[in-house]
Amino acid sequence: MIQSIEGLEFLKLRESCRLKAYKDQAGVWTIGYGTTRYYPMGKIIEGDIIDQNRADSLLMMECDGIGRKIEDLLNVKLKQCQYDALISFIYNVGMTAFKNSTLRILINQNSEEDKIREQFMRWSKIHRDGALIVSNGLRFRRKRESDLYFSC
* CATH code where residue 117 lies: 1.10.530.40
What's the pLDDT band for 130 if we cut at 50, 70, 90?
confident
Q: For residue 127, what pLDDT is reported?
A: 80
Task: Look at residue 39 and tell me whether its pLDDT is greater than 90.
Answer: no
Task: Count up the domains in the chain and report the number.
Answer: 1
In terms of residue numbers, what domain contains 140?
Answer: 5-149
Rounded average pLDDT over 52-77: 94
Whole-prediction pTM: 0.88
Q: For residue 126, what pLDDT is reported?
A: 85
Rounded average pLDDT over 70-79: 95
CA 37 to chain centre: 14
Mean pLDDT estimate for the chain? 93
What's the pLDDT band for 27 if we cut at 50, 70, 90?
confident
The residues that bridge with 131 in the sheet, in sequence order, are 128
